[in-house]
Structure formats: C-alpha cells, structure tokens
Structure 1
C-alpha cells in the first residue's frame, strides 16, 4: 500500500483510513485471509492506534474484516451462507423494485436509464472496471428512484457490498462487462416499455450471472472461503 500523508484531526483520520482500506479490500488488493496490523496502518497514516481501531471496527461491521482478540486482524473470507442470504434478500427487493419501476416509468425516468446505459458503454470502451462498478450501483439506484422506492437502494447497496469482491473477480475473469451491460440494457427497455414480467425475468437472470463465478472460485481459490459445515448453510 502506498505511503499515505499524515492526517489531521481524528474524525478525518478514521474516515480516511476506512476509505483507504475499504477500497483496498473491495478491489482485492487486500485479498480474503490477508492479515493487517494496527501498528502498520497507524504508522502509514501517522496516527495513533485508536483511529485505526475505529476504522477496523467499521469494516468489521460491514463483514469485511475479522477482528480477533490477541490475534492478527485479517480480511474476512467469503461465507457461502452469507452469500446465499445476501442474494436471497437482494433478489426479493430487486423484483419489487423492477415491478414498480416498470409500472411507473415516465419520460424522465426513461431518459435517465438511457444516460446510465450510455455511461456504462463508455466504461466498456475505456476498459474501466472501477468506473463500471460505480455505474452498476448508479443504474440500480436509478431503478429505485423510478420505482419511487429510493429506500430500497439502501438494502440493495448493503447486500451488494457483501458480494462486490466476487463481482470484481468475475469481471477480471474474461470480458464480462459487455454481458452485464447487455442485461442492463434489456432491463431498461423492459422498464421503459412497462413490461413488468420481462423486467423481472431479466433482472433475475442478471443476478444469477455470478453463480458460475462463485462455484469456480470456491474450487480454484478455496482459501478465500470460510470453512463451513452443512449445518452452517
């Protein structure tokens, strides 16, 4: 990790450390199972251990760090149970969002969807995976706004963040962005034409794109996953 400049007052340092580590973890520069040290991070940012501790705590709340007393803190491994739960919740919320969006989409909403798709296509041309990830969030946020259910995006964002690292691995394994933007385009067209069934069908197919990636990674990078018994699932 690059040397960070010394930070000022404590609240800012906590936020900066959190943002830095959050980005390192989600981008997989820090990988599942990697160990990180309070002392090393404190030295890197030129602060005491307390703001580092606070940032670690926030990351642990998001299920991104595993903090163990008297043992090294490590980047949280994937939990198959947590992935299944997260995707179940998100699918239920997304279905209702798509139903409402397809019923209520107006000209303004249609224009916002067109702009969102155009931005994603530009990210593909630029081969910008990071930008595409941000635009993916914005696309689903736009659907929630069209559905007049902006609160639903809070749930989607929480659940999506739990599998974002898998999404990054998915995008890094072959040229997946065109496939995903094609899904988004089909969802947008269904919503714009008020085709409720098509919108939901396409949305659920879109969410299922990660299935093969999860299966492959669980075999090729088994160390990225927690050891869980059948009773845990």
Structure 2
C-alpha cells in the first residue's frame, strides 16, 4: 500500500490533503458542523500550513467548508436553497443528456450500461453503499459519454457535490440502494430502446428520490442545516 510520502511524489501536498478531506466530508466521516483545525491537518500530513490552507480554499469553493476570520473552520452545513438550485441545474442538464443518449446509443453502448449495472448490483448485494455511490457517478458519466457530451459531466459532478453528502445519508441511513439500482436499470432500458421521452421521464423520477430523504433528514437532524 502506498505511503503518503510516496503519493506526494506523484501529487502535490495540496492534492493529498484535499482528496483526504473531500472523501471524509462526502462519506460523512466529517459531519455537517464539525470543526477542523488547519494546524492538526498539517501535523497529520507532515506538511506546512500553506498546502492545507490551499486545500481548505478548494473545499470552500465546492461549498463544503465554511472559513471565517478568527473562527474555527467547519464542515459546511446543508443549505436548502443551494440544494434546490443545484438540483434544478442538474435536472436540466441530465434531461438533455438522456435525450441525446437515447437517440444515438449503439449496441456497444448498451453493453457498457449492462456492465455498469452488474457492478452496481454487486455493490447492493454486498451492502457497500460507498462503492455504490462511486458507481452511481460512473453510470451518469457513462451516459454523458454515450450522448457524446462528456463535458456535461463536469456540470453534473459540480452540482452533484452539493448533494453528495445527502445522497450518502440516503444510502446509508435509508438503505435505498435497491431502489436507485432499479431506476438505473429503467433508464438504461429506455436508452437502449431509443425511447428519449421515456428515458427523460424515468431520469427525472430518479432525481426526485431525494425529496423525501431531505425532509426526513431535516426533521431528524436540523442541526445539519443552515438556519
């Protein structure tokens, strides 16, 4: 297994710290409102404070950290306004991706979707929600590739970052992997059949699955949200 020192040979210290903190935040090892120390992170990775500061800045740009002068840096709480905005943008982009994918998907593309679904099914069988989350990303990226608009995934992934933690709460707390897998299967079926309207319809239902989860999480853990 590579050590941090060896990893640094291939990546900058900022990359190493950023990747570690990003993963910790989106997988909920660090919860909304948790405080993190620049000095402690620097000591953990045996680096100066500057790369940690730069990593913090990148995370702030992704709306994952709240940095305030003379106050402790903390993991950003959920914002209902930002979640609504991100999901609107993502839904608009994904709808067009699905339309295009359904119109031009080839038999080879269908096989790629089938392979992606098989991996997701294994993650469900294993109860591995973190792996399922990664495969969810890969599935939507594959749809962009099929639609020949790979650049669209940059928009999707940026907006997805705003709700990733809620998605992980949904997968880990609500155990809805099976439902999401069935959505993916339905999307793939319609794309392979060339049914653009059906693909968009199922895709929008898929994206709406989080609505009830957001309400449930807000009721159960209101401190996870901005007041």
Question: Normalising to structure 1: TM-score of the pair?
Answer: 0.93
Root mean square deviation, CA, Å: 1.5
Distance 2:116 2:107 in 1: 14
- Give matches, 1:105-184, under 5 Å: 105-184=105-184
Aligned counterpart, 2:217: 217
Aligned residues: 224
Q: Is residue 5–residue 46 contact of structure 1 (8 Å, CA) maintained in 2?
A: no
Cα distance, 1:179 vs. partner? 0.4
Cα distance, 1:10 vs. partner? 11
Secondary structure of 2:186's aligned partner: helix
Distance 2:161 2:174 in 1: 22
Secondary structure of 2:165's aligned partner: helix
Q: Is residue 6–residue 46 contact of structure 1 (8 Å, CA) maintained in 2?
A: no
Change (3 A) 1:69 1:26: same
Give CA deviations for 1:111-130 in whole Å, capped at 9, x if unaligned.
11111111100111111111
Distance 2:104 2:4 in 1: 48
Secondary structure of 1:150's aligned partner: coil
Secondary structure of 1:63's aligned partner: coil
Give CA deviations for 1:87-116 in whole Å, capped at 9, x if unaligned.
000000011011111111111111111111
Aligned counterpart, 2:80: 80
Aligned counterpart, 1:26: 26
Secondary structure of 1:74's aligned partner: strand
Which contiguous aligned blocks of 4+ residues in structure 1 show a shift greater than 2 angstroms?
Answer: 4-11
Cα distance, 1:175 vs. partner? 2.5
Are residue 102 (structure 1) and residue 126 (structure 2) matched? Answer: no
Q: Is residue 102–residue 194 contact of structure 1 (8 Å, CA) maintained in 2?
A: yes
Give CA deviations for 1:135-176 in whole Å, capped at 9, x if unaligned.
101110111111111111111111111100000000112331
Aligned counterpart, 1:188: 188
Cα distance, 1:52 vs. partner? 0.7
Are residue 16 (structure 1) and residue 16 (structure 2) matched? Answer: yes
Aligned counterpart, 1:206: 206
Change (3 A) 1:10 1:34: farther
Secondary structure of 1:140's aligned partner: helix
Distance 1:48 1:6 in 2: 14
Q: Identify unmatched segments of 5+ residues in structure 2.
A: none
Question: Normalising to structure 2: TM-score of the pair?
Answer: 0.95
Q: Identify unmatched segments of 5+ residues in structure 1.
A: 228-233
